Amino acid sequence: MLTAGPTTLPRARLLVRDVVCSVVALVLAGAVVAVGVTVAVLLAAHPPASATGALVSVGGPVVVAIAAGFAGLAVTIVRIVDRRASWPFALATFVVCALAVGVAGYAASGYLPGLG
């Protein structure tokens, strides 16, 4: 039988609201990244005259959003498994993804017809 010795601490309770907030924030971050990828694909399907500059200026922030999404997802999952507060990391992931996709959308507005 395992007993808690003087050097071991009991595991903290898993807070349902923390997990729910984290999941909602990560789902929203995934949706934002999907919008960014859609903008990049739309730009690739209808390339402007300076296609290289357009794909770099739109694709760069989208790649940053994807990388931030995966990193935030990994950190959030690790913190949930460790039963520590995870919602700040999930919220930060959403904010970084939204900012990166916003920059990509702003860059794409100058290249896509009808947006600029």
Residue ranges of the domains in the chain?
A: 22-44+58-109
Task: Judge whether residue 5 has pLDDT over 70.
Answer: no
CA 91/CA 113 separation, integer angstroms: 33
User: pTM for the complete prediction?
Assistant: 0.82
Q: Give tens-digit pLDDT for 59-110.
A: 899 999 999 999 999 999 999 998 899 999 999 999 999 999 999 988 888 7
Q: Give tens-digit pLDDT for 37-65.
A: 998 888 877 777 766 777 788 889 999 99
Task: Judge whether residue 112 has pLDDT over 90.
Answer: no
Question: What is the 8-class DSSP label of residue 82?
Answer: T
Among candidate residues 64, 74, 65, 86, the one with its CA nearest the CA of residue 12: 86
